[in-house]
Amino acid sequence: MGRIVVIGAGMGAMAAAARLAVAGHRVTVYERTETYGGAVRRFERDGFAFDTGPGLLHLPAVYRDLFVKTGKEPLEDLVELTQVDPASRHVFSDGTRVDLPNASRAGTLSALDTALGAGAGERWGDFMVRAREAWDRTRRPLLEEPQPEDTSVFGREPYPALKAGFLRRPTTTLGGIGARELRDARLTELLDSYAWSYGFDPATAPASAAVLPYMEQTFGTWYVGGGIRALADAVHERCLKRRVEFVFDAAVVEVLEKDGRATGVRLADGETVEADHVVAGAPPQALPRDGVVAGERDDRARPLPVGTGRVTLCLALRGARESGAVHRTVVHGAEGRPTVTVLRPDDPALRPDDGHESVTVTATVATDRAPEWRAVAGTMLAAAGSAVPGLRERLLWQVLRTPEDTLRETGVREVPGPALAGGAGAFLPAANRSPLQGLYRAGGWSHPGGGLAHAGMSGALVAGLIVEGADFRGSR
């Protein structure tokens, strides 16, 4: 079988590597940093541990499929996987609170009616029916099939927005859905929070971003025991068992080509490595030329949507987690304050003992400017006080992580969002098949976009393209 070089050891790249190794290929992964996982990292200090990337898992079926296909082992045999219930507590800007159950439509609508008043649940339920239609229209072509060369079909908006106004024009943005269809500021804040959590500004995100709350509320929210880093550990271990070789602290500076085909890579130390196929798991912005032959215009390349960055506060607290605490609290912003997500996993692996607690607080920020990070941290800490009683009195220390940390670990400041239809195609990532023959793209910056589940899907698509070639039509 073939020799395959994988650039980067992110989750999508490792998913592709494991599948390709099972198919009989000789796979070597070159990672420019000292570890695997890409943005899925862990910070540890004084017995406290924190996920510094995503803290929760959606669509675990993607990784169940990976482990079954690469070793016939259930995911749950390798990591502890539990549903988070309630899935989230929301603290709205007017002080109203509501706990939303995990993967329960009826429970969610009832909770909204109780907290926000009669009719709120019905309006949200009607919106979710339309969101499901958008999901049904886009799920397979956008998530389970390779991105076609002609992407014009994805430029059309799949969300069946309600028409209103004199000209009966449908809204084209997620923010417009909230204003026109939900008719409650708190429901609008709820909808907006899903966009922010995936790195999208609801004012500019296409209406099809409605699939994000649909996905979470339908398929559930899950926690991996020991933190999401434990999932990265399991994927890395699976690669090793399938005899994938990893070379760390080895930056790739060039994709080699001959006669219009990728033939290997050149490392920073000057070494060249030959390959029959190259899988680029790194962000295209961080790759030299992204495999395009020097002087040749790439007519299929589209500018990637400028993502947003992640700011994270790691909080070490004295005192035990109080009774009734929930795993995830979303504190909605107002008057320029960001919406923040507070994660409080009840996990002994993340704290020195039961008399302490580790908490992460995250917010989405624009990366086209560098705000005063201390001020941002202060605002986030104040918001987190709505989720953690006595927070300031319990605080032992805090560590602030900014997009500059993301840049150091992944090569770019931004965190990619999942692919979305609509928006004239502006929210589509790079295709898995590069214009340069033999070069493929896997991971959050390639089809079908960012997020743990989407990265895993990307790895499956790339493996299918290499193993099955032109006959590959998508996951089955």
Contacts of 37 (CB under 8 A, 6+ apart): 9, 10, 11, 53, 229, 232, 236
Q: Say how many residues make up the chain.
A: 476
Question: Judging by DSSP bridges, how do beta strands 26-30 and 3-7 pair with one another?
Answer: parallel
Which helix (H) or strand (E) segment is 311 a member of?
A: strand 309-318
pLDDT at 122: 96
Instruction: Give residue-wise pLDDT tens across range 21-66.
Output: 999 999 999 999 999 999 999 999 999 999 999 999 999 999 999 9
- Both tokens of 28, joined, read 């070597």
pLDDT at 224: 98
Q: Which residues pair with 302 in a beta bridge?
A: none
Q: Are 75 and 60 in contact (CB under 8 A)?
A: yes
- Whole-number Å distance between alpha carbons of 268 and 249: 10
pLDDT at 225: 97
> What are the φ/ψ torsions at residue 146 (nearest 5 degrees)?
-60, 145
- Both tokens of 425, joined, read 């195609």
Question: Judging by DSSP bridges, how do beta strands 356-365 and 309-318 pair with one another?
Answer: antiparallel
Looking up tokens 């090793």 gives 240
pLDDT at 476: 60
pTM of the predicted model as reported, rounded to 2 decimal places: 0.93
Contacts of 117 (CB under 8 A, 6+ apart): none
- Whole-number Å distance between alpha carbons of 376 and 388: 18
DSSP letter at 259? Answer: T
pLDDT at 244: 98
pLDDT at 366: 85
Which helix (H) or strand (E) segment is 186 a member of?
A: helix 185-197
Predicted confidence pLDDT, tens digits, the chain (476 residues): 799 999 999 999 999 999 999 999 999 999 999 999 999 999 999 999 999 999 999 999 999 999 999 998 899 999 999 999 999 999 999 999 999 999 999 999 999 999 999 999 999 999 999 999 999 999 999 999 999 888 988 988 999 987 665 545 678 899 999 888 998 999 999 999 999 999 999 999 999 999 999 999 999 999 999 999 999 999 999 999 999 999 999 999 999 999 999 999 999 999 999 999 999 998 877 776 544 433 333 433 444 444 689 999 999 999 999 999 999 999 999 877 899 999 999 999 999 999 999 999 999 988 877 778 889 999 999 999 999 999 999 999 999 999 999 999 998 999 999 999 999 899 999 999 999 999 999 999 999 999 999 999 999 999 999 999 877 877 76
* Burial category of 369 from C-beta neighbours within 10 Å (exposed 0-12, middle 13-18, buried 19 and up): exposed
Q: Which residues pair with 82 in a beta bridge?
A: 223
- Whole-number Å distance between alpha carbons of 121 and 129: 12
Cα 299 to Cα 268, 371, 449, distances in angstroms:
29, 36, 21
How many C-beta atoms lie closer than 10 Å to residue 85's C-beta? 17
Contacts of 242 (CB under 8 A, 6+ apart): 17, 18, 21, 22, 70, 71
pLDDT at 165: 55
- Whole-number Å distance between alpha carbons of 98 and 124: 14
pLDDT at 368: 77
pLDDT at 294: 35
